[in-house]
Structure 1
Amino acid sequence: MLAVGVAFLYLYLNSPTVIGAEGERRVNATLARKLDDQHYIVLEDLTLPTNHGTTQVDHIVLSRFGVFVIETKNMSGWIFGSESQARWTQVMRCRKFQFQNPLRQNYHHVKVVQDLLGIRLDQLENLVAFVGSAEPKTEMPPNVFWNRKALLHYITSRQTVQFTENEVHDFARKLRRSALGANKEIRRAHIQHVREKAIQKETDLSKCPRCGSKMIERTNRSTGQRFYGCCRYPKCRGTRQAD
Protein backbone atom coordinates (compact mmCIF):
# COMPACT_ATOMS: atom_id res chain seq x y z
CA MET A 1 0.00 0.00 0.00
CA LEU A 2 2.89 2.33 0.87
CA ALA A 3 4.52 1.60 -2.49
CA VAL A 4 1.30 2.53 -4.30
CA GLY A 5 1.12 5.80 -2.36
CA VAL A 6 4.74 6.64 -3.14
CA ALA A 7 4.19 5.86 -6.83
CA PHE A 8 1.06 8.03 -6.89
CA LEU A 9 2.93 10.89 -5.20
CA TYR A 10 5.79 10.58 -7.72
CA LEU A 11 3.38 10.69 -10.65
CA TYR A 12 1.55 13.65 -9.15
CA LEU A 13 4.72 15.68 -8.51
CA ASN A 14 5.91 14.97 -12.06
CA SER A 15 2.58 15.72 -13.73
CA PRO A 16 2.47 18.55 -16.29
CA THR A 17 0.07 20.49 -14.05
CA VAL A 18 2.38 20.48 -11.03
CA ILE A 19 5.51 21.12 -13.10
CA GLY A 20 3.80 23.99 -14.89
CA ALA A 21 2.56 25.51 -11.63
CA GLU A 22 6.07 25.36 -10.16
CA GLY A 23 7.46 27.20 -13.19
CA GLU A 24 4.80 29.88 -12.87
CA ARG A 25 5.57 30.25 -9.14
CA ARG A 26 9.27 30.83 -9.88
CA VAL A 27 8.62 33.46 -12.52
CA ASN A 28 6.03 35.25 -10.40
CA ALA A 29 8.36 35.29 -7.38
CA THR A 30 11.08 36.88 -9.49
CA LEU A 31 8.76 39.48 -11.00
CA ALA A 32 7.22 40.40 -7.65
CA ARG A 33 10.61 40.63 -5.92
CA LYS A 34 12.66 42.39 -8.58
CA LEU A 35 10.21 44.81 -10.21
CA ASP A 36 9.66 48.07 -8.34
CA ASP A 37 6.02 48.12 -7.22
CA GLN A 38 6.04 51.90 -7.60
CA HIS A 39 6.24 51.42 -11.36
CA TYR A 40 4.97 47.88 -12.04
CA ILE A 41 1.88 45.86 -11.09
CA VAL A 42 2.29 42.08 -11.34
CA LEU A 43 -0.79 39.87 -11.80
CA GLU A 44 -0.58 36.08 -11.93
CA ASP A 45 -2.71 33.10 -12.90
CA LEU A 46 -5.70 34.99 -14.26
CA THR A 47 -8.59 32.99 -15.70
CA LEU A 48 -10.22 35.45 -18.09
CA PRO A 49 -13.50 35.19 -19.99
CA THR A 50 -13.44 34.98 -23.79
CA ASN A 51 -16.12 34.82 -26.48
CA HIS A 52 -15.83 31.02 -26.49
CA GLY A 53 -15.27 30.20 -22.83
CA THR A 54 -12.21 31.05 -20.74
CA THR A 55 -8.45 31.26 -21.02
CA GLN A 56 -5.73 31.12 -18.36
CA VAL A 57 -2.95 33.73 -18.45
CA ASP A 58 0.21 32.97 -16.46
CA HIS A 59 1.44 36.52 -15.79
CA ILE A 60 0.59 40.09 -16.72
CA VAL A 61 2.92 42.98 -15.86
CA LEU A 62 1.31 46.41 -16.05
CA SER A 63 3.36 49.59 -16.31
CA ARG A 64 3.40 53.04 -17.88
CA PHE A 65 5.79 51.53 -20.43
CA GLY A 66 3.43 48.86 -21.72
CA VAL A 67 1.49 45.73 -20.83
CA PHE A 68 3.57 42.53 -20.76
CA VAL A 69 1.70 39.23 -21.17
CA ILE A 70 3.94 36.31 -20.20
CA GLU A 71 3.59 32.58 -20.88
CA THR A 72 5.77 30.30 -18.73
CA LYS A 73 7.18 26.95 -19.88
CA ASN A 74 8.84 24.73 -17.27
CA MET A 75 10.67 22.26 -19.51
CA SER A 76 13.91 20.33 -19.90
CA GLY A 77 15.85 18.90 -22.83
CA TRP A 78 16.61 20.54 -26.17
CA ILE A 79 14.09 22.88 -27.76
CA PHE A 80 13.80 23.42 -31.51
CA GLY A 81 11.50 26.00 -33.08
CA SER A 82 11.05 29.31 -34.83
CA GLU A 83 8.55 32.15 -34.74
CA SER A 84 6.83 30.93 -37.92
CA GLN A 85 6.44 27.25 -36.94
CA ALA A 86 3.06 26.15 -35.61
CA ARG A 87 4.65 23.46 -33.43
CA TRP A 88 8.00 23.28 -31.66
CA THR A 89 9.98 20.16 -30.75
CA GLN A 90 11.39 19.03 -27.42
CA VAL A 91 14.12 16.36 -27.51
CA MET A 92 14.70 14.54 -24.25
CA ARG A 93 16.52 11.25 -23.76
CA CYS A 94 16.54 10.64 -27.53
CA ARG A 95 12.75 11.03 -27.68
CA LYS A 96 10.94 13.80 -29.51
CA PHE A 97 7.81 15.57 -28.31
CA GLN A 98 5.92 18.30 -30.11
CA PHE A 99 4.10 21.19 -28.47
CA GLN A 100 2.29 24.28 -29.68
CA ASN A 101 4.45 27.29 -30.52
CA PRO A 102 4.19 29.16 -27.18
CA LEU A 103 4.25 32.55 -28.93
CA ARG A 104 1.14 31.57 -30.88
CA GLN A 105 -0.44 30.17 -27.74
CA ASN A 106 0.26 33.40 -25.86
CA TYR A 107 -0.92 35.59 -28.73
CA HIS A 108 -4.45 34.45 -27.93
CA HIS A 109 -3.91 35.66 -24.35
CA VAL A 110 -2.57 38.97 -25.65
CA LYS A 111 -5.69 39.52 -27.76
CA VAL A 112 -7.98 38.72 -24.81
CA VAL A 113 -6.14 41.25 -22.62
CA GLN A 114 -6.20 43.81 -25.44
CA ASP A 115 -9.98 43.49 -25.81
CA LEU A 116 -10.57 43.72 -22.06
CA LEU A 117 -8.43 46.84 -21.67
CA GLY A 118 -9.40 48.50 -24.96
CA ILE A 119 -5.85 49.38 -25.97
CA ARG A 120 -3.79 49.05 -29.15
CA LEU A 121 -2.01 45.80 -29.96
CA ASP A 122 1.35 47.58 -30.19
CA GLN A 123 0.97 48.61 -26.53
CA LEU A 124 1.21 44.98 -25.43
CA GLU A 125 4.20 42.62 -25.44
CA ASN A 126 3.95 38.87 -26.13
CA LEU A 127 6.68 37.24 -23.99
CA VAL A 128 7.58 33.59 -23.32
CA ALA A 129 9.77 32.56 -20.38
CA PHE A 130 11.35 29.10 -20.22
CA VAL A 131 12.37 27.91 -16.76
CA GLY A 132 13.99 24.62 -15.87
CA SER A 133 16.93 23.15 -17.76
CA ALA A 134 15.63 23.48 -21.33
CA GLU A 135 18.19 24.64 -23.90
CA PRO A 136 17.41 26.22 -27.29
CA LYS A 137 19.02 24.45 -30.23
CA THR A 138 17.77 26.84 -32.92
CA GLU A 139 17.84 30.61 -33.10
CA MET A 140 14.94 31.92 -31.06
CA PRO A 141 12.87 35.14 -31.36
CA PRO A 142 14.01 38.02 -29.09
CA ASN A 143 10.82 37.81 -27.01
CA VAL A 144 11.58 34.23 -25.85
CA PHE A 145 13.74 34.06 -22.72
CA TRP A 146 15.77 31.24 -21.17
CA ASN A 147 16.36 32.74 -17.74
CA ARG A 148 14.45 35.12 -15.50
CA LYS A 149 17.24 37.70 -15.45
CA ALA A 150 16.92 38.20 -19.21
CA LEU A 151 13.14 38.49 -18.89
CA LEU A 152 13.50 41.19 -16.22
CA HIS A 153 16.09 43.07 -18.27
CA TYR A 154 13.76 43.10 -21.28
CA ILE A 155 10.81 44.44 -19.27
CA THR A 156 12.78 47.15 -17.49
CA SER A 157 14.55 48.20 -20.71
CA ARG A 158 11.21 49.39 -22.12
CA GLN A 159 11.17 53.08 -21.17
CA THR A 160 8.85 54.70 -23.72
CA VAL A 161 5.80 55.97 -21.80
CA GLN A 162 2.56 54.51 -23.15
CA PHE A 163 0.09 55.14 -20.31
CA THR A 164 -0.49 57.37 -17.33
CA GLU A 165 -0.19 56.03 -13.79
CA ASN A 166 -3.98 56.30 -13.37
CA GLU A 167 -4.52 54.24 -16.54
CA VAL A 168 -2.21 51.52 -15.24
CA HIS A 169 -4.17 51.22 -11.99
CA ASP A 170 -7.42 51.25 -13.94
CA PHE A 171 -6.11 48.35 -16.07
CA ALA A 172 -5.37 46.38 -12.89
CA ARG A 173 -8.91 46.96 -11.60
CA LYS A 174 -10.43 45.90 -14.94
CA LEU A 175 -8.41 42.69 -15.09
CA ARG A 176 -9.12 41.78 -11.47
CA ARG A 177 -12.84 42.36 -12.00
CA SER A 178 -12.79 40.32 -15.19
CA ALA A 179 -10.75 37.49 -13.71
CA LEU A 180 -12.88 34.55 -12.73
CA GLY A 181 -12.59 33.34 -9.15
CA ALA A 182 -10.28 30.37 -8.81
CA ASN A 183 -12.90 28.06 -7.32
CA LYS A 184 -13.40 24.42 -8.19
CA GLU A 185 -16.46 24.89 -10.36
CA ILE A 186 -14.84 27.50 -12.61
CA ARG A 187 -11.58 25.56 -12.78
CA ARG A 188 -13.56 22.47 -13.76
CA ALA A 189 -15.39 24.44 -16.45
CA HIS A 190 -12.10 25.76 -17.79
CA ILE A 191 -10.56 22.27 -17.94
CA GLN A 192 -13.67 20.91 -19.64
CA HIS A 193 -13.49 23.71 -22.22
CA VAL A 194 -9.84 22.88 -22.97
CA ARG A 195 -10.69 19.17 -23.32
CA GLU A 196 -13.57 19.91 -25.67
CA LYS A 197 -11.27 22.03 -27.85
CA ALA A 198 -8.70 19.21 -27.93
CA ILE A 199 -11.36 16.65 -28.87
CA GLN A 200 -12.68 18.95 -31.59
CA LYS A 201 -9.17 19.44 -32.99
CA GLU A 202 -8.53 15.69 -32.97
CA THR A 203 -11.85 15.13 -34.76
CA ASP A 204 -10.99 17.74 -37.39
CA LEU A 205 -7.57 16.15 -37.99
CA SER A 206 -9.18 12.76 -38.58
CA LYS A 207 -11.14 14.15 -41.53
CA CYS A 208 -9.89 14.70 -45.06
CA PRO A 209 -9.22 18.42 -45.67
CA ARG A 210 -10.68 18.09 -49.18
CA CYS A 211 -13.84 16.01 -48.86
CA GLY A 212 -14.30 15.39 -45.13
CA SER A 213 -13.96 11.59 -45.38
CA LYS A 214 -11.94 9.49 -42.94
CA MET A 215 -8.14 9.71 -43.09
CA ILE A 216 -6.02 6.53 -43.09
CA GLU A 217 -2.40 6.29 -41.99
CA ARG A 218 -0.10 5.43 -44.91
CA THR A 219 3.63 5.23 -45.62
CA ASN A 220 5.50 6.90 -48.48
CA ARG A 221 7.23 4.02 -50.29
CA SER A 222 10.11 6.20 -51.46
CA THR A 223 10.97 7.96 -48.20
CA GLY A 224 9.40 5.73 -45.56
CA GLN A 225 7.68 8.76 -44.02
CA ARG A 226 4.25 8.36 -42.46
CA PHE A 227 1.32 10.48 -43.61
CA TYR A 228 -2.47 10.37 -43.63
CA GLY A 229 -4.36 9.89 -46.87
CA CYS A 230 -8.04 10.04 -47.74
CA CYS A 231 -9.87 6.68 -47.64
CA ARG A 232 -11.45 7.59 -51.02
CA TYR A 233 -8.06 7.54 -52.81
CA PRO A 234 -7.58 7.69 -55.81
CA LYS A 235 -10.89 9.57 -56.27
CA CYS A 236 -9.75 12.01 -53.61
CA ARG A 237 -6.04 12.74 -53.07
CA GLY A 238 -6.35 14.66 -49.82
CA THR A 239 -3.35 14.16 -47.47
CA ARG A 240 -2.23 15.36 -44.08
CA GLN A 241 1.25 15.19 -42.58
CA ALA A 242 1.66 12.86 -39.59
CA ASP A 243 2.99 14.29 -36.31
Structure 2
Amino acid sequence: MNSFFATDGFKILVFLIVCVTAVVMFIRQSRHKLAADPKVVKDELDRLGSEYTVLSDVVVSAELGMNDVSHVVVSPYGVFVLTVKTEAGKVFGREGDREWQIKSGRQRDILYNPLWENRKHVNALEKMIGEVWFIPLVVFTRATLKGEFGDPVVRLKELIPSIAEHKKSRLPDDKRDEIVQKLRRTADQN
Protein backbone atom coordinates (compact mmCIF):
# COMPACT_ATOMS: atom_id res chain seq x y z
CA MET A 1 0.00 0.00 0.00
CA ASN A 2 2.86 2.41 0.81
CA SER A 3 4.50 1.83 -2.56
CA PHE A 4 1.17 2.59 -4.29
CA PHE A 5 1.01 6.06 -2.65
CA ALA A 6 4.71 6.64 -3.22
CA THR A 7 4.33 5.85 -6.92
CA ASP A 8 1.14 7.92 -7.30
CA GLY A 9 2.63 10.76 -5.26
CA PHE A 10 5.67 10.76 -7.53
CA LYS A 11 3.43 10.81 -10.62
CA ILE A 12 1.43 13.72 -9.21
CA LEU A 13 4.64 15.62 -8.41
CA VAL A 14 5.98 15.07 -11.94
CA PHE A 15 2.63 16.14 -13.40
CA LEU A 16 2.66 19.36 -11.34
CA ILE A 17 6.24 20.15 -12.37
CA VAL A 18 5.36 19.64 -16.05
CA CYS A 19 2.27 21.88 -15.70
CA VAL A 20 4.19 24.67 -13.95
CA THR A 21 6.96 24.49 -16.56
CA ALA A 22 4.41 24.67 -19.39
CA VAL A 23 2.72 27.71 -17.82
CA VAL A 24 6.05 29.50 -17.32
CA MET A 25 7.08 28.80 -20.93
CA PHE A 26 3.71 30.02 -22.21
CA ILE A 27 4.00 33.27 -20.26
CA ARG A 28 7.55 33.87 -21.50
CA GLN A 29 6.55 33.16 -25.09
CA SER A 30 3.54 35.47 -24.83
CA ARG A 31 5.72 38.32 -23.56
CA HIS A 32 8.22 37.63 -26.34
CA LYS A 33 5.52 37.75 -29.03
CA LEU A 34 4.05 40.90 -27.51
CA ALA A 35 7.42 42.63 -27.73
CA ALA A 36 7.56 41.74 -31.44
CA ASP A 37 4.56 43.96 -32.08
CA PRO A 38 5.73 47.49 -32.97
CA LYS A 39 2.57 48.74 -31.22
CA VAL A 40 4.26 48.09 -27.86
CA VAL A 41 6.52 51.08 -28.53
CA LYS A 42 3.49 53.27 -29.27
CA ASP A 43 1.87 52.06 -26.04
CA GLU A 44 5.05 52.93 -24.16
CA LEU A 45 5.22 56.39 -25.76
CA ASP A 46 1.59 57.05 -24.84
CA ARG A 47 2.74 57.04 -21.20
CA LEU A 48 4.63 60.29 -21.82
CA GLY A 49 3.06 63.47 -20.49
CA SER A 50 0.93 65.98 -22.36
CA GLU A 51 3.96 68.04 -23.37
CA TYR A 52 4.91 65.24 -25.79
CA THR A 53 3.11 64.76 -29.12
CA VAL A 54 3.56 61.25 -30.53
CA LEU A 55 3.19 60.70 -34.28
CA SER A 56 3.52 57.16 -35.65
CA ASP A 57 4.34 55.83 -39.12
CA VAL A 58 5.39 59.20 -40.47
CA VAL A 59 6.24 59.03 -44.19
CA VAL A 60 8.74 61.64 -45.37
CA SER A 61 10.15 62.11 -48.86
CA ALA A 62 13.89 61.72 -49.23
CA GLU A 63 16.44 61.91 -52.04
CA LEU A 64 16.01 58.26 -52.95
CA GLY A 65 12.32 57.73 -52.35
CA MET A 66 10.26 57.76 -49.20
CA ASN A 67 11.23 57.16 -45.58
CA ASP A 68 8.83 55.53 -43.14
CA VAL A 69 9.74 56.77 -39.68
CA SER A 70 8.43 54.50 -36.92
CA HIS A 71 7.67 57.29 -34.44
CA VAL A 72 8.35 61.00 -34.08
CA VAL A 73 7.91 62.59 -30.67
CA VAL A 74 7.72 66.38 -30.64
CA SER A 75 8.46 67.96 -27.27
CA PRO A 76 9.83 71.16 -25.74
CA TYR A 77 13.15 69.30 -25.48
CA GLY A 78 13.49 68.51 -29.16
CA VAL A 79 12.19 66.16 -31.82
CA PHE A 80 12.79 62.50 -30.99
CA VAL A 81 13.15 60.34 -34.10
CA LEU A 82 12.60 56.65 -33.31
CA THR A 83 13.55 53.67 -35.42
CA VAL A 84 12.06 50.46 -34.01
CA LYS A 85 13.70 47.05 -34.44
CA THR A 86 11.81 43.90 -33.42
CA GLU A 87 14.53 41.34 -34.12
CA ALA A 88 15.08 38.72 -31.42
CA GLY A 89 18.42 37.44 -30.18
CA LYS A 90 21.74 38.96 -29.23
CA VAL A 91 22.88 41.95 -31.27
CA PHE A 92 26.63 42.41 -31.73
CA GLY A 93 28.31 45.42 -33.30
CA ARG A 94 29.60 48.93 -32.80
CA GLU A 95 28.21 52.35 -33.52
CA GLY A 96 30.37 52.85 -36.64
CA ASP A 97 30.00 49.35 -38.13
CA ARG A 98 28.12 49.06 -41.42
CA GLU A 99 26.49 45.81 -40.34
CA TRP A 100 25.58 44.33 -37.00
CA GLN A 101 25.13 40.64 -36.28
CA ILE A 102 22.11 39.08 -34.65
CA LYS A 103 22.60 35.68 -33.08
CA SER A 104 19.51 33.73 -32.13
CA GLY A 105 20.26 30.16 -31.12
CA ARG A 106 22.41 28.74 -33.90
CA GLN A 107 21.18 31.22 -36.46
CA ARG A 108 23.20 34.31 -37.36
CA ASP A 109 21.73 37.18 -39.36
CA ILE A 110 23.00 40.51 -40.57
CA LEU A 111 21.30 43.76 -39.66
CA TYR A 112 22.33 46.91 -41.47
CA ASN A 113 23.28 49.55 -38.94
CA PRO A 114 19.95 51.05 -37.77
CA LEU A 115 21.74 54.20 -36.62
CA TRP A 116 22.44 54.95 -40.29
CA GLU A 117 18.79 54.29 -41.13
CA ASN A 118 17.79 56.65 -38.31
CA ARG A 119 20.21 59.29 -39.63
CA LYS A 120 18.47 59.13 -43.03
CA HIS A 121 15.15 59.71 -41.25
CA VAL A 122 16.57 62.71 -39.39
CA ASN A 123 17.98 64.17 -42.63
CA ALA A 124 14.61 63.78 -44.40
CA LEU A 125 12.75 65.36 -41.46
CA GLU A 126 15.27 68.19 -41.33
CA LYS A 127 14.61 69.01 -44.99
CA MET A 128 10.90 69.05 -44.29
CA ILE A 129 10.68 70.97 -41.00
CA GLY A 130 14.01 72.80 -40.91
CA GLU A 131 16.88 72.73 -38.47
CA VAL A 132 15.67 71.93 -34.98
CA TRP A 133 17.07 69.89 -32.11
CA PHE A 134 16.74 66.24 -33.21
CA ILE A 135 17.31 63.36 -30.81
CA PRO A 136 17.80 60.05 -32.65
CA LEU A 137 16.80 56.82 -30.89
CA VAL A 138 16.91 53.21 -32.07
CA VAL A 139 14.65 50.99 -29.96
CA PHE A 140 15.08 47.21 -29.80
CA THR A 141 11.96 45.54 -28.45
CA ARG A 142 13.25 41.96 -28.09
CA ALA A 143 17.02 41.90 -28.52
CA THR A 144 19.82 41.74 -26.00
CA LEU A 145 22.43 44.36 -26.87
CA LYS A 146 26.03 43.11 -26.83
CA GLY A 147 28.12 45.89 -28.27
CA GLU A 148 29.17 49.51 -28.07
CA PHE A 149 26.21 51.12 -29.78
CA GLY A 150 26.22 54.52 -28.11
CA ASP A 151 23.45 56.39 -26.30
CA PRO A 152 20.94 56.42 -29.17
CA VAL A 153 20.43 52.63 -28.99
CA VAL A 154 18.10 51.46 -26.22
CA ARG A 155 15.96 48.52 -25.26
CA LEU A 156 12.23 49.02 -24.87
CA LYS A 157 12.39 49.25 -21.08
CA GLU A 158 14.99 52.04 -21.38
CA LEU A 159 12.96 54.14 -23.83
CA ILE A 160 11.02 56.36 -21.43
CA PRO A 161 14.02 57.01 -19.14
CA SER A 162 16.11 57.90 -22.23
CA ILE A 163 13.53 60.43 -23.35
CA ALA A 164 13.10 61.77 -19.80
CA GLU A 165 16.85 62.51 -19.60
CA HIS A 166 16.32 65.44 -21.96
CA LYS A 167 15.08 68.35 -19.86
CA LYS A 168 16.62 71.41 -21.51
CA SER A 169 13.91 73.37 -23.31
CA ARG A 170 14.84 73.79 -26.98
CA LEU A 171 11.58 74.34 -28.87
CA PRO A 172 9.04 77.08 -28.12
CA ASP A 173 5.33 76.20 -28.24
CA ASP A 174 4.71 77.87 -31.61
CA LYS A 175 7.58 75.99 -33.29
CA ARG A 176 6.34 72.69 -31.82
CA ASP A 177 2.83 73.37 -33.11
CA GLU A 178 4.21 74.20 -36.56
CA ILE A 179 6.23 70.95 -36.65
CA VAL A 180 3.25 68.85 -35.54
CA GLN A 181 1.01 70.47 -38.18
CA LYS A 182 3.56 69.77 -40.96
CA LEU A 183 3.96 66.16 -39.88
CA ARG A 184 0.20 65.62 -39.60
CA ARG A 185 -0.34 67.13 -43.07
CA THR A 186 2.18 64.65 -44.44
CA ALA A 187 0.40 61.81 -42.65
CA ASP A 188 -2.97 62.93 -44.08
CA GLN A 189 -1.55 62.90 -47.62
CA ASN A 190 -0.35 59.29 -47.27
TM-score (norm 1): 0.61
Q: Distance in 1 between matches of 2:123 and 2:179?
A: 15
Quote the offset at 1:97 in angstroms.
Answer: 0.6
Give the aligned partner of residue 127 of structure 1. 137
Amino acid at match of 2:154: F
Give the aligned partner of residue 22 of structure 2. none
CA contact (8 A) 2:67 2:121 kept: yes
* Max Rg structure: 2
Quote the offset at 1:47 in angstroms.
Answer: 1.5
5 Å-filtered alignment, 1:1-243, equals 23-32=37-46, 34-37=47-50, 39-120=51-132, 123-132=133-142, 134-148=143-157, 150-179=158-187, 181-182=189-190
Quote the offset at 1:28 in angstroms.
Answer: 0.6
Quote the offset at 1:49 in angstroms.
Answer: 1.8
Q: Which consecutive residues of structure 1, in runs of 5 or more, have no partner in the other structure?
A: 1-18, 183-243
Amino acid at match of 1:24: P
Amino acid at match of 2:134: L
Quote the offset at 1:176 in angstroms.
Answer: 1.4
Change (3 A) 1:172 1:22: farther
CA contact (8 A) 2:90 2:144 kept: yes
CA contact (8 A) 1:23 1:73 kept: no
Q: Distance in 2 between matches of 1:145 and 1:81?
A: 14
Amino acid at match of 1:82: R
Q: CA RMSD in A?
A: 2.0
Quote the offset at 1:46 in angstroms.
Answer: 1.1
Amino acid at match of 1:176: R
Q: Distance in 2 between matches of 1:164 and 1:31?
A: 21
With CA pairs under 8 Å and 6+ residues apart, which has the higher RCO, 1 or 2? 2
Tell me the secondary structure at the aligned position of residue 168 of structure 2: coil
Higher helix proportion? 2
Quote the offset at 1:181 in angstroms.
Answer: 4.1
Q: How many equivalent pairs are there?
A: 158
Q: Distance in 2 between matches of 1:51 and 1:180?
A: 21
Residues 58-81 of structure 1: CA deviation (Å, up to 9, x unaligned): 000001110000000112111101
CA contact (8 A) 1:81 1:88 kept: yes
Q: Distance in 2 between matches of 1:88 and 1:137?
A: 10
CA contact (8 A) 2:95 2:148 kept: no
CA contact (8 A) 1:76 1:92 kept: yes
Q: Distance in 1 between matches of 2:70 and 2:156?
A: 16
CA contact (8 A) 1:66 1:162 kept: yes
